[in-house]
């Protein structure tokens, strides 16, 4: 099996845009998009692993919807893991067996809801007084704001 090695040159085209090994998700025949049993997580990839290498190895096990080796941008090397989404659960399980036999740690990818990395401000439940507002507010409240001319 051919190995693909990353060039040190950023102009080599690695990770310079969308993954070219992705298929439109609307083209799937099984409708299994979003099914956690079609997306696999592969751990133990070598730093030299590229998207192309992962795709070429993974395609032996079935129809690939998407594949991605996770790359550290400052070093341009693989962080040691990647993901491959197959068209069916049967193909994904076949790939898990194959990658496992090659010595990689493989599991179904876990989908977690996205959480913000910063605290979300909570709106106060008490009235907010605006003593230093630079324009007048009508007596009815904040529904209408008039501007000073």
3-state SS class at 111: coil
pLDDT digits (tens), the chain, 149 positions: 443 333 333 333 333 334 444 444 433 333 334 447 899 999 999 999 999 999 999 999 999 999 999 999 999 999 999 999 999 999 999 999 999 999 999 999 987 776 766 666 666 565 555 555 566 656 555 555 555 55
d(C-alpha 46, C-alpha 104), whole Å = 10
Hey, which residues does 93 pair with through a beta bridge?
none
Compute the CA torsion angle 61, 66, 71, 76 (nearest 10 deg).
Answer: 90
pTM over 0.85: no
């Amino acid at each position: 099996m051919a190995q693909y090695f990353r060039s040190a040159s950023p102009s080599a085209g690695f990770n310079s845009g969308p993954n070219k090994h992705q298929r439109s998700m609307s083209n799937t025949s099984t409708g299994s998009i979003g099914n956690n049993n079609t997306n696999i997580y592969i751990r133990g990839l070598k730093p030299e692993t590229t998207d192309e290498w992962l795709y070429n190895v993974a395609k032996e096990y079935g129809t690939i919807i998407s594949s991605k080796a996770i790359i550290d941008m400052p070093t341009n090397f693989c962080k040691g893991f990647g993901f491959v989404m197959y068209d069916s659960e049967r193909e994904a399980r076949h790939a898990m067996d194959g990658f496992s036999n090659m010595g990689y740690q493989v599991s179904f990818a876990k989908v977690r809801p996205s959480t913000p990395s910063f605290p979300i401000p909570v709106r106060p439940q008490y009235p907010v007084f605006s003593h230093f507002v630079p324009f007048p507010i009508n007596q009815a409240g904040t529904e209408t704001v008039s501007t000073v001319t």
